[in-house]
Amino acid sequence: MQRKNRLGRVYLVIVFLVLYLPILYLIYFSFSSGSTMNTFKNFTWANYRTLFADTRLIQIVLQTLLLALLSSLIATVVGTMGALGIAASKRTSTRNLMLSLNNVLMVSPDVIIGASFLILFTMLGISLGFGSVLASHIAFSIPIVVLMVLPRIQEMDHALIDAAYDLGASAPQVLNRVILPFITPGIVAGYFMAFTYSLDDFAVTFFVTGNGFATLSVEIYSRARQGISLEINALSALMFVFALLLVLIYFFIQVHQSNRTKRNKQKARNAA
């Protein structure tokens, strides 16, 4: 087991290295005084200075984050409810049909989704802007949430639910006390995937945006014709470091909490 563990560690280190390689490459060049990710010229902070002077870009970043956080939140709620509904349906064929419908948006290329959403919004007379983009992001994030939550629900031991009912719990109580706690990891995973989809999307957002609302992806893609400046690298580096900090903070809170519970248990044991 010891030997296998070490092998596992080595394997993980390689996976992490590969996953982070292009990002480190981007960050490295954010300090270059050149204008492309080609050869590193001289060390400079200039790209960061340009970035902080660019209020338009900063506003876009904030808008993008707001959109991603909010759309994935709503998508997670709706998707989880949907997954519960799918899991509860009695017939296998209904379940399979629902799952297939669920996956339509995952298989359709972004351009088709974007174009058909645009037609849909104009048909419904919805004006384009933050609202239409939010609705679209919620729409294409729901299927991934369902895919993340559903296996978790299906793994659930039904004896648990039955026991809760036998003990006189009401339906909302069972949902809150038994089902949701059990599927929380799936829900959180779904949230993060939805967040990722939202941050990454270009084509759908482009079609359904309007009235001055822009996201980072749309801005980056439309800058490609003139060449993307290293200012964008600097921005990515900052966003990455910020996200990393959040994850680290989360980590320390977790460690702290588990230490505390351990200590509390110790205390309780000592008291006994």
Contact by Cβ (8 Å): 127, 64:
no
Residue 249 beta carbon to other proteins: minimum distance, rounded to whole angstroms: 11
Residue 6 found at the interface with other proteins (CB under 8 A): no
* Shortest distance in whole angstroms from residue 48 CB to other proteins: 16
- C-beta separation of 83 from 145 below 8 A: yes
From 133, 117, 127, 109, select the one nearest 218 (Cα to Cα): 133
3-state per-residue secondary structure call for 12-59: HHHHHHHHHHHHHHHHHHCCECCCCCCCCCCECCHHHHHHHHCHHHHH
Distance between CA atoms of residues 37 and 29, nearest Å:
6
Of residues 22 through 61, those in contact with other proteins by CB under 8 A are 22-23, 25-26, 29, 34-38, 54-56, 58-59
Q: How far is the CB of 78 from other proteins (least distance, A)?
A: 5
Which CB sits closer to other proteins, 116 or 266? Answer: 116
Do 95 and 89 form a contact (C-beta atoms < 8 A)? yes
Is residue 236 at the binding interface for other proteins, with CB under 8 A as the rule?
yes
The reply on whether position 81 binds other proteins by CB under 8 A is yes
**Using rule CB under 8 A, residue 243 touches other proteins:** yes
Question: Which of positions 181-210 make contact with other proteins (CB under 8 A)?
Answer: 181, 184-189, 191-193, 195-196, 199-200, 202, 206-207, 209-210
Number of residues that bind other proteins (CB under 8 A): 149
Which lies closer to other proteins via its Cβ, residue 111 or residue 265?
111
* Three-state DSSP class for residue 179: helix
266 lies in the site for other proteins, by CB under 8 A = no
Q: Find the binder of other proteins among 33, 45, 49, 62 (CB under 8 A).
A: 62
Please state the separation of Cα 178 from the chain's center in Å: 25
Q: Which of 48, 51, 79, 234 binds other proteins (CB under 8 A)?
A: 79
Residue 112, C-beta contacts closer than 8 angstroms, at least 6 positions apart: none
Contacts to other proteins from residues 103-162, by CB under 8 A: 103-109, 111-113, 115-122, 127-129, 132, 135-136, 138-140, 142, 144, 147-148, 150-152, 154-155, 158, 161-162
Report how far residue 203's alpha carbon sits from residue 217's, in angstroms, rounded to the nearest whole number: 9
Nearest to 28 by CA among 240, 248, 245, 243: 240
Residue among 265 and 271 whose Cβ is closer to other proteins: 265
